[in-house]
Amino acid sequence: MVQDIPETDAEWREVLTDEEYEILREQGTEPKFSGEYLGKDDDGIYRCVGCGADLFDAETKFDSDSGWPSFYDAEDGAVEFREDRSNGMVRTEVVCARCEGHLGHVFDDGPDPTGKRYCMNSVALEFDEA
């Protein structure tokens, strides 16, 4: 499922929809409670829509009532973290470790065993059912 990573902005625009491009390449955010994976509870794996890398096992998904799909852990080495000072806040941005696509943010108010809440944009993900 892993795909080649586009090298230029023009190539990214060819492989992503306008909405996917806005989220992954321009650090956008989908509207609260609008994402297709918000209420999904099937077994499987969530992958990066930009490159196909495995990101989150569905077993780590939980209902955070935040308005976005939430996970308490990511696959080993699947994501990287960056400081985000946009919108007058200081947050931790989560990006795909393989293609550096923006996925969402991580917060320290999640459940055990990690205490983390990976608050992700559905648009940045694709789901592969087990």
Full set of structural domains in the chain with CATH: 9-129 (2.170.150.20)
48 annotated active-site: no
How far is 3 from 116, CA to CA, in rounded Å? 28
The pLDDT of residue 1? 65
How far is 118 from 99, CA to CA, in rounded Å? 18
Instruction: Note whether 23 and 119 are within 8 A (CB).
Output: no
Tens digits of per-residue pLDDT, 34-90? 999 999 999 999 999 999 999 999 999 999 999 999 999 999 999 999 999 998 999
The pLDDT of residue 130? 79
Share of the chain above pLDDT 70, in %: 99
Whole-prediction pTM? 0.95
Which of 38, 18, 1 shows the shortest CA–CA distance to 120? 38
Q: Which of these is catalytic: 51, 96, 99, 119?
A: 119
